[in-house]
Structure 1
């Protein structure tokens, strides 16, 4: 006679499992909230924390000027400034600096229309030809690009390094920028930038006046016959 089979175990009720999952999820939420609160409390109580406050004054509009010139050409320049400063009676290793500075910027060339006299524009009796007399193009002050201008290399003596370490403010670089601007201005003056500006101004006026119906347009600059 065979023994009766063992009865199958009954499945665990689903309600206790759901309660356990809910309890675990609740604990995770509580742990996350505690971590966030601790982080916020530390940020409030941190004695070494810094807060940046912008106390700049509003931008002040100083003047408005009507433009009466045509900017007809722009030159982009780059120069390497090699500035060395030596002490009279000390070696460079003790006192002295040498800085290589890359300066990059642009120079605008323009023709000024504000000073034109009444005789600057001459129209023929049949109104088919016109002659315009203009001054030569001028150069603006160089505009250095801070994003592309930087100190490439710098060598400093022991006393200079100690002075930079003890100083509360970084070394002043205005002299380097001024030298770069001066050299770029000289390079722009020696280039053909002004001649290109004259040519572009002539082409602009010829196109504009031809569009107004003039068959012959002559543009002359100050030193042209």
Structure 2
């Protein structure tokens, strides 16, 4: 009797393992990939290994070029912060909103400055008495600058789109284009600035600045007129 006949159970086990191994042949590369994926998911649970398979952001922006320099001939005397909620809806004439149409709720935030223009001032705008103790300065009324939108505080609350608009966004370079609502928000902010007291505050601040400056030069009476 041979050793195999003496241990029939061991012989049958080796036979079953041999048959199983011959039927299942897993490629080595697949085993390595599966092991890496499993390890990556488990390493997140260990301190210090969470970023082993994480994303990395590289800023390869080129140098910033200075295109031009412009001298300012105006005194920025006041600035206002504004916020508006834009509700912009676009509908198609002969199609329901579910097919074609958009509605966007957008919070727009920005600032508007008010300034006094000094560029056109000359000797005729300043009158001084013989004792050089009194001065009268004539200035143009304060103006409003263009609204400067703040991207950090401006955001879309919601955007509803019809089926055709959603399909169009799939082929668009910028499906989340907020240019239209941002422009509309800037227009509303500009209108609100016109109804505010920004220009009056700018003229008051400019008067205070000039009075303080001329009094430090020895003038006791300083009058600022806006016309």
Alignment of 1:1-225 (within 5 A): 54=59, 56-222=61-227
Judged with a 3 Å threshold, the aligned counterparts in structure 2 of structure 1 residues 168 and 120 are, in CA distance, closer, same or farther, namely: closer
Segment of structure 1 superposing worse, 92-101 or 53-62? 53-62
Unmatched segments (≥5 aa) in structure 1: 1-34, 40-48
Q: CA deviation at 1:52?
A: 5.8
1:94 deviates by 1.3
Name stretches of at least 5 consecutive residues in structure 2 with no aligned partner.
1-35, 41-53
Q: What SS does the aligned partner of 1:146 have?
A: coil
What is the TM-score normalised by the length of structure 1?
0.73
Q: Work out the number of aligned pairs and report it.
A: 178
Query: How far off is 1:59 after superposition?
Result: 1.8
CA distance in 2, matches of 1:98, 1:168: 20
- Using the TM superposition, give the Cα deviation of residue 62 of structure 1 relative to its aligned residue in structure 2, in angstroms: 1.6
User: Partners of 1:52 and 1:79 in 2: how far apart?
Assistant: 34
**What is the alpha-carbon root mean square deviation over aligned residues?**
2.2
Shift of 1:171: 2.9
TM-score, reference length from structure 2: 0.72
> Per-residue deviation at 1:170?
2.4
